[in-house]
């Protein structure tokens, strides 16, 4: 099945510090591409894989699940580790959950993580009915393009396959159980006006990880897909500063002036 225009994976060979970027549920690398290109311009090695079942048609997601999505980012992390001295993992929404599992399972092989509006739970009154409903109704309304900035398109499905939603629910539960194993430095950026993932998800994550180097920043001008929204540049700059602090001189990175904000929260 052909990949949708704009949904292609992105890779860039840079210096000896690598960054793996994980996109969200029903989305595609399009939501992470500007972020990846920004990091590449600053000398980092970058990988933005396309998750199985994504970026083609929603029917393809019906035969995939959390372990398939995780296996893809796990392979990419191992490939980056083979050619980079230090590797960071960034993720948005479900990509945040994938990032957290990588951190929990790979330990010191992941130098730090950045989360943007990370998902921790499938919400809504219908969530508990997914085990049954998925056999009766194939899809529901999509979650795509929750973006305040006009003219943006994350290249995501306009339908949510309910079997995949059921798989996501199961996967997020497993990741939640692994959160205490996350010890890496963590930067979390979230949008108070997120119409897909509620603030409770970020609070749950921050309350359960074992990281002690934790920074939380609010993205006041953006909705869920903040990497394509009004606060995108701030996300890019804060994440580059985060990498630069933990891996000084990586790819020529430097701490941007005048971009620090938000508060620091012990995890």
| Catalytic residue, candidates 54, 111, 194, 202 | 194
Return the DSSP state at 24. Answer: -
Which positions make up the binding site for substrate? 25, 94
Active site residue 195: no
222 lies in a domain? Answer: yes
**Nearest Cα to Cα of residue 101 among 52, 46, 174:** 174
Q: Strands 112-116 and 86-92, how do they pair?
A: parallel
Q: How many helices (H) and strands (E) does the chain have?
A: 7, 10
Q: How confident is the model at residue 266 (pLDDT cuts 50, 70, 90)?
A: very low
258 lies in a domain? Answer: no
- pLDDT at position 256 is 43
**Residue 260 parent element (H or E):** none
Cα–Cα distance for residue pair 262/218, rounded to 1 Å: 6
101 lies in a domain? Answer: yes
Structural domain including 207 reads: 8-244
253 lies in a domain? Answer: no
Cα–Cα distance for residue pair 36/46, rounded to 1 Å: 6
Whether the per-residue pLDDT at 38 is higher than 80: the answer is yes
| Catalytic residue, candidates 28, 31, 47, 93 | 93
Reported as half-sphere exposure (CB side, CA atoms, 13 A), residue 39 has a value of 38
Active site residue 194: yes
255 lies in a domain? Answer: no
- pLDDT at position 141 is 76
Cα–Cα distance for residue pair 219/117, rounded to 1 Å: 10
- pLDDT at position 259 is 34
Active site residue 42: no
Lowest mean pLDDT among 2-16, 104-118, 158-172, 186-200: 158-172
Across-strand partners of 159?
Answer: 141
Which positions make up the binding site? 25, 94
264 lies in a domain? Answer: no
Cα–Cα distance for residue pair 223/221, rounded to 1 Å: 7
| Catalytic residue, candidates 224, 229, 231, 239 | 224
Backbone angles phi, psi at 203, to 5 degrees: -65, -40
What's 167's domain CATH number?
Answer: 3.40.50.1820
- pLDDT at position 127 is 65
Average per-residue pLDDT for the chain: 91
172 lies in a domain? Answer: yes
Q: Measured between alpha carbons, how far apart are the two ends of the chain, in Å?
A: 43
pLDDT tens-place string over residues 136-180 = 676 787 889 999 999 999 999 999 898 999 999 999 999 999 999
Total domain count for the chain?
A: 1
120 lies in a domain? Answer: yes
- pLDDT at position 261 is 35
């Amino acid at each position: 099945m052909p990949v949708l225009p704009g949904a292609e994976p992105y890779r860039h060979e840079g210096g000896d510090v690598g960054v793996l970027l994980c996109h969200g549920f029903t989305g595609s690398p399009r939501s992470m591409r500007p972020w990846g290109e920004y990091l590449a311009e600053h000398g980092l090695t970058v990988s933005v894989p396309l998750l199985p079942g994504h970026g083609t048609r929603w029917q393809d997601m019906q035969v995939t699940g959390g372990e398939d999505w995780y296996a893809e980012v796990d392979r990419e992390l191992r490939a980056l580790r083979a050619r980079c001295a230090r590797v960071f993992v960034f993720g948005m929404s479900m990509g945040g959950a994938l990032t957290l599992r990588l951190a929990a399972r790979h330990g010191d092989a992941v130098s730090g993580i950045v989360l943007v509006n990370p998902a921790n739970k499938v919400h809504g009154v219908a969530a508990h009915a997914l085990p049954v409903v998925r056999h009766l109704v194939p899809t529901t309304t999509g979650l795509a393009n929750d973006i305040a900035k006009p003219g943006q398109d994350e290249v995501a499905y306009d339908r949510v396959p309910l079997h995949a939603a059921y798989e996501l629910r199961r996967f997020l539960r497993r990741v939640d159980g692994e959160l205490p194993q996350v010890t890496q430095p963590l930067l979390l950026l979230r949008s108070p006006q997120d119409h897909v993932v509620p603030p409770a998800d970020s609070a749950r994550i921050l309350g359960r990880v074992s990281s002690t180097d934790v920074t939380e920043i609010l993205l006041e001008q953006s909705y869920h897909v903040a990497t394509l929204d009004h606060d995108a540049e701030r996300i890019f700059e804060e994440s580059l500063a985060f990498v630069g602090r933990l891996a000084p001189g990586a790819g020529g990175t430097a701490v941007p002036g005048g971009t620090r904000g938000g508060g620091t929260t012990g995890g």
